[in-house]
A and B are shown apart, each in its own frame.
Chain A
Amino acid sequence: MTVLETSPAGVHDPTLLLQVEGVDKSFPGVKALEGMRFDLRKGEVLGLVGENGAGKSTLMKLLTGIYTRETGEFWLDGSPLTATTPKEAQEAGLSIIHQELNLVPHLSVAENIWLGREPLSGGFFTRPGEQLRRTRELLERLELNLDPKAAVSTLTVAKQQMVEIAKALSFETTKVLIMDEPTAALNDAEVDQLHTLIRKFITPDTGVVYISHRMAELKRIADRITVIRDGHYIDTMPMAETSLDQVISKMVGRAINTSARPENVQDDRPIVLSVSGLSTKALLKDVSFDLHRGEVLGFAGLMGAGRTEVARALVGADPITSGDVVLNGNPVTIHSPAKAAEVGIGYLSEDRKHYGLMLPQSVSHNIAISSLGEKFSTAGFVKDKAMREAAEASRKLLSIKTPSVNQLVKYLSGGNQQKAIVARWLVKDCDILIFDEPTRGIDVGAKEEIYQLLNKLAEQGKSIIMISSELPEVLRMSHRVVVMADGRVTGVLSADEANQESIMRLATHRDDAITHVAEKAEN
């Protein structure tokens, strides 16, 4: 074996479970990875962090052979890893669970787990009974509460995630499990379950690479943490001795204040929006709250508490069974998003790709779309120049990073895409903005920018509803916090009253959840 031809940074160490050395990868016009390296020891969980675009996904695709590396070496358990397909990587002992789940929605849990490896008789006929037996065995071993016969499409995202993991662990040979943002869609209880599963998987011969944005989780699960930035290796540190601020500053290359508090909290502002008795067929029961001018009103709660549903019902995207909305003292009926936009309420979905952006269109199209009819057209003809100028002005105002407003919006980073949607509603002159998970999928540096943007908007007199699953974010931003559970409002807290404990007490009815949160609160 020729060692170290291209890796000046380290020496091949056969006791490591997974070693990556000196990996370069370029795409036309961009160097994605340069001298990338990291190592995973036997029996550990390694946290891997980096901002969006740091090169994590590229690295994963190189490991599984989806991309071919230009230089560099991979070793898995002492032998060189030369997989050219995910299947080969799997056979060599490397399983990857991608951020986007790769399951067939209409097949059952069991069928998904054994897809391509079905137990057969005569090499052609499937043996559903045997497959079911093996699935039950596997789920039992992993202590997963899943129905093997349930169609994957009927499961929650969290359960689907569990199926992916069960699938990865159903390979007897799996030594290294790489998880890319495994908890993006999970609530706290589900995260715990996932972590239990990971600990169960870890033996003296196995290891896990855990890619995540969520620092609190890394603190709980990871033994060491490796930071990468802009395609370069930065540092590796033992988790126990590292503070979050240290990690974050290495990720972004500058220090970030994680203990900031809401700005300009006042309680004597006029009410702009008053919602009472909002109910829907599916979930919401008698939801009432007020929104004041210039306020950031946080909406906290666990997954499925109904926060997004409130937003969608409010803007007329989903039908309501009852409920009154009073806007600036006048009762209004909002039966469609078009009507909501007309009265000045803009909704920014948590799922920008599906409910926010027209990805294949330009930044200026995405900004101007809501105002095309009233601002950027005469007699049905679009005024392209005015539209581009307005987009250009927004680009400057919100410092949207794009070479041009003619750039397709899909090429922008998550944070800049979010800003483009904010610009859409500002151009439309909306006074009430509903942000659903405003920083989901946005990297740490850009998050702070979004927070400042929200504060600035509130200062200018915009009223903001901010739905967030990240408690630090809720506490950081909210002048008041509405807490929901099971489709009801369980409490409204002032900025002074709000802390992780008080919010979680309202968001759950279980006492154990509070202690669990207290554990996290130290971060």
Chain B
Amino acid sequence: MSTETKPTETKVSETTIKPASRGGSWRERLQQLMALAGLVLIFAVFSVASPLIFPSYSNVTTILFSTTVVGLLALAETLIIITSGIDLSVGTVMTLAAVMSATFIVNWHIPVWLGILMTILFGGLIGLINGFNVAILRLPPFIATLAMMLVAQGLALVISNARPIYFDAKEHARYIWLSTGSIIPGTRFPNAVIVLALAAVVAFILLNKTLLGRYDISIGSNEEATALSGINTKKWLIIIYAVAGLFVGLAAIMISARLGSAQPATGLGYELQAIAAVVIGGTSLSGGKGTIVGTIIGALIISVINNGLQIMSVRQEWQNVILGLVILVVVFIDQLRARRAATT
């Protein structure tokens, strides 16, 4: 047995850095590309299945129109999920805010523009309370917003006496116009879609160009480290939840304008659709990563599936089954790719 082991003389590189590619942006872009490809694929399948109705201008407009509410809620949800939180209250808070809007405008005769402003701010106020509960009281976001979901659901019924409040088609025409009217003359392109597009642009700027976005991502990546870096993470968490609440307030306007009324018994289930849109769009539930473009694509995928299945006369009940399966497949593929990236 020899103990002599002669050293292997080999050329040794100078740096010890692993030559990993800059993972961030191209992988995110690939993710969006995948989501977009999925959207195109699903669209193509329905177009083949129903070539006359599905891809028509009016149906595509319908799809976009029906994306508005879930899309706005999903924007709010994206900002919160990036902090590694979750908001289960967006659906019923939207309903409560819609009831408030109708109360302001129909019952209290407040001018429409002011009513709209107050409703959006009301959404922000609820978000602020959620943020306080999460950041200051240190309640887990799931619990804090679950409680808010129930509170808002109950309050909507209490305030409205459990009855729908109707807007007046003449007196509040401008309110309804916001959703179903068209600012582009000669088309019937609904304003709601334009509102969603503008809101998405605002959310995009917030997330990518402002301190709010940077701190949002930083908190989601590592809240403790962000706090130790000298960032007032509590303050910023509250701001993020409050800003998300503004989007929920806007969603409340769009849904009540579309229906011409505030329907206090609805709202539950929207939060899950919004979360689904965010997840399909590639935002990580563990925080620190997410995009607005992805979320909008996710919301569109949900609308396209719902619309396509309706046109093909698939029973309503099946639509959720299929949506559920889509979420499983999409998230599984995402996990698979993440795992593969992690082992290299």
Residues of A within 8 A of B (CB): 9, 13, 15-16, 27-30, 34-35, 41, 51-53, 224, 229-230, 232-236, 238, 250, 253, 315, 317, 336-338, 340-342, 346-347, 349, 354-362, 365, 369-370, 372-373, 377, 380-382, 401-404, 406-408, 411-413, 416, 424, 428, 443
A27-B344, A28-B344 known; A337+B12 contact, CB < 8 A: no
B221 and A407 contacting across the interface, CB-CB below 8 Å: no
Report the Cα distance A280→B323, complex, angstroms.
Answer: 53
Taking CB atoms and an 8 Å cut-off, the chain B residues in 223-278 that contact chain A are 224-232
Complex Cα spacing A372 to B226, Å: 12
B288 at the interface (CB under 8 A from A): yes
A513–B28 alpha-carbon span in the complex (Å): 55
* CB atoms of B17 and A408 under 8 A apart: no
Q: Which residue of A lies closest to B206 (CB)?
A: A380
Q: A230 touching B13 by the CB < 8 A rule?
A: yes
User: In the complex, what distance in Å separates the CA atom of A39 from the CA atom of B224?
Assistant: 44
Q: Are A341 and B229 in contact (CB under 8 A)?
A: yes
Given known pairs A361-B218, A382-B214, the reply for A408 and B228 (CB within 8 Å) is no
Q: Which of B18-26, B117-125, B171-179 contacts A (4 or more CB under 8 A)?
A: B18-26
- In the bound assembly, the distance between CA atoms of A194 and B8 in angstroms comes to 33
The chain B residue with its CB closest to the CB of A34 is: B10
Tell which of B18, B24, B228, B289 touches A355, judged by Cβ atoms closer than 8 Å: B228
Chain A neighbourhood of B20, CB < 8 A: 29, 407-408, 411
Q: Is the CB of A337 within 8 A of B227?
A: yes
A369 x B226 contact (CB < 8 A):
yes
Q: Are B3 and A236 neighbours in the complex by a CB distance under 8 Å?
A: yes
Residue of A nearest to B287 (CB): A360
Chain A minimum-CB-distance residue to B234 = A336
A-B contact pairs, 27 of them (CB 8 A): A53-B16, A53-B18, A230-B10, A230-B13, A232-B8, A232-B10, A234-B7, A236-B5, A317-B227, A336-B232, A338-B230, A346-B230, A349-B225, A358-B218, A358-B222, A369-B214, A369-B218, A369-B226, A372-B214, A380-B211, A382-B213, A406-B25, A407-B20, A407-B22, A411-B23, A412-B17, A424-B229
B17 lies within 8 A of A402 (CB): yes
**Which residues does chain B contribute within 8 Å of A338, judged by CB atoms?**
227, 230-232
B8 adjacent to A233 (CB under 8 Å): yes
* Beta-carbon contact of A370 and B22 below 8 Å: no
Is B209 located at the chain interface by the 8 A CB criterion?
yes
* Interchain CB contact under 8 A, B12 and A362: no
Q: Are B229 and A30 in contact (CB under 8 A)?
A: no
User: How far, in Å, is A381 (CB) from chain B's closest CB?
Assistant: 5
**Size bracket of the B interface:** 35 or more
A-side contacts of B5, CB under 8 Å: 233, 235-236
Residues of A near B214 (CB, < 8 A) are: 365, 369, 372, 382
Interface of chain B, helix or strand or loop or mixed?
loop
Mark B residues whose CB is within 8 Å of A.
1, 3, 5-8, 10, 12-13, 15-20, 22-25, 209-215, 217-218, 221-222, 224-232, 288-289, 344
Known: A360-B288, A402-B17. A238 touches B3 (CB 8 A): yes
Within 8 Å CB of B344, what residues of A?
Answer: 27-28
A233 to B10, CA, bound (A): 9
Question: Which of chain B's residues has its CB closest to A252's CB?
Answer: B12
A211, B142: Cα distance in complex, Å: 42
18 further A-B contacts with Cβ under 8 Å, apart from A341-B230, A358-B221, A381-B211, are: A16-B1, A28-B344, A229-B12, A233-B7, A315-B228, A346-B230, A354-B222, A358-B226, A360-B24, A360-B221, A360-B288, A361-B24, A370-B231, A382-B210, A382-B213, A404-B22, A408-B23, A424-B229
Residues of B within 8 A of A411 (CB): 17-18, 20, 23
Cα-based distance from A373 to B8 in the complex (angstroms): 52
Is B225 within 8 A of A354, CB to CB? yes
A337 to B234, CA, bound (A): 12
A272 to B344 Cα, complex, angstroms: 48
A358 touches B230 (CB 8 A): no
Chain B residue, CB-CB nearest to A227? B7
**Complex alpha-carbon distance, A406 and B21, angstroms:** 10
In the complex, the 10 A-B pairs of residues with the closest C-beta atoms, listed nearest first: A341-B230, A358-B221, A411-B20, A338-B232, A370-B229, A53-B16, A236-B5, A235-B7, A370-B230, A358-B222
Measured between C-beta atoms, what is the minimum distance from B253 to chain A in Å?
25
Q: How far is the CB of A111 from chain B (nearest CB, A)?
A: 27
Is A234 in contact with B8, judged by CB distance below 8 angstroms? yes
Cβ–Cβ < 8 Å partners of B215 in chain A: 372
Known: A53-B16, A380-B210. A361 touches B1 (CB 8 A): no
Give the residue name and chain of the B residue nearest to A445 (CB). Answer: B16
Residues of A within 8 A of B8 (CB): 9, 35, 232-234
Q: Are B228 and A349 in contact (CB under 8 A)?
A: yes
B209 contacts A382, C-beta separation under 8 Å: yes
A358 to B83: give the CA distance in the assembly, Å: 12
Contact A416 B227 (CB under 8 A): no
CB atoms of A354 and B224 under 8 A apart:
yes
How far apart are A142's CB and chain B's nearest CB, in angstroms?
31
The contact of A356 among B18, B19, B209, B225, by CB within 8 Å, is B225
